[in-house]
A and B are shown apart, each in its own frame.
Chain A
Amino acid sequence: MVKGKYLLMGVLIVIIGIVFAVAVFPSEEKRVKKRFHLLSGWVSKSAEENSFTMLKKMKDIGTLFLEPCELKAPQESLSGSYTRQEISAYAGAARSHFSQLDFKLYDLHIAFPEREVAKVTLTTRLIGKLTSGEQVDEVRELECLLKKIDKKWFFSQVEVIEVLKK
């Protein structure tokens, strides 16, 4: 009986240790996911967003990208290498057309084809209201490459995958 009690306590301590280790030292996958969630939060826009928050978010979006970052989105007239400033400016201009914007992420599949390189495929959904009052609901599949530099993950390539080709 006493042996069983010690065994149970040992198992509990091991479980708590594992949970603590996972929480304190997140896996690379979690770190990559966190970058996407930051992007989602910074692209999204609430109806009450003030100019200060807008400028900060614009600047923050740029910090997630590598200098330069390759964008392949011919449908959105974006193709080529862009600097952080250009990406921030583009994001700011795009966000300014919306009075409200929600950028949601689904089905994130993360793979590590090389050391310090992450390949992520995901579905993004942009639901918003334009300043003209028109509702927008757009879904895209993205394929992103992220590179790890100084223990941080940065977007080095973003490609919009064409699911339906007219």
Chain B
Amino acid sequence: MAIHRRIRQFFFPSLTPMFLTRVFLVSLFAYLFFSYLCIPFTIQGISMEPTYPNGGVNFCWRLRYLLSEPQRHDVVAVRFAGSQVMLLKRVVAQEGEQVEFRAGRLYVDGKEIEEPYLRFPCDWNLPSRRVEKDCLYVVGDNRSMPIENHHFGQTSKIRVMGGPLW
């Protein structure tokens, strides 16, 4: 009988002040958490395939780089004017490093970098350039398209919103 009452209470709770306060607090917490700390997003585009396929759902964890800097091979979310539209890219070089592509291979400071996450063939060639102070060089994982059709390059560190949760 007591269990029956508890089940009924769970599905049809009495609108007591305590219950309404709890609903308000849970809603407020969820709003703040999903608006500022763990922002949900859908992936639109193929630039990070196959790691992050088009149409996938993920969350941008804002505290990822609270105590550390993004490292090479990290996937980061780069913002535009705000958090509603972001780019998902992989960090390939950090400030002060020389980055270049030769026949689809990534070279940083003249050394070839292994990129195990790449699955598609790439034939890019990009002359060497130095990553400016307080910037990161980011590229997508899908480099099967011509180099001019892919959005990549150096971006300011302050534009990094965080990283995907998985």
Q: How far is the CA of A14 from the CA of B160 in the complex (A)?
A: 44
Within 8 A of B (CB), among A100-134: 106-109, 121-123, 125
Query: Main SS of chain A's interface residues?
Result: strand
Name which of B23-31, B59-67, B150-158 contacts chain A. B150-158
Q: A137 and B45: CB pair below 8 A?
A: yes
Q: Take A163-B159, A164-B87 as given contacts and tell me if A121 and B81 are in contact as well, using a CB distance cutoff of 8 Å.
A: yes
Interface residues on B, range: 10 to 19
**Smallest CB–CB gap between B53 and chain A, Å?**
16
Using Cβ atoms and an 8 Å threshold, which residues of chain A touch B85? 106-107, 123, 125, 139
Q: B87 and A123: CB pair below 8 A?
A: no
Q: Take A165-B154, A166-B153 as given contacts and tell me if A106 and B138 are in contact as well, using a CB distance cutoff of 8 Å.
A: no
Task: Count A interface residues, CB 8 Å.
Answer: 17
The answer to whether the Cβ of B126 comes within 8 Å of any Cβ in the partner chain is: yes
Q: B81 and A164: CB pair below 8 A?
A: no
Interface digits, B137-157 against A, CB 8 Å rule (1 contact, 0 not)?
A: 010000000000001111100
Using Cβ atoms and an 8 Å threshold, which residues of chain A touch B81? 106-109, 121-123, 141-142
Binding site for B on A (CB under 8 A): 106-109, 121-123, 125, 137, 139-142, 163-166
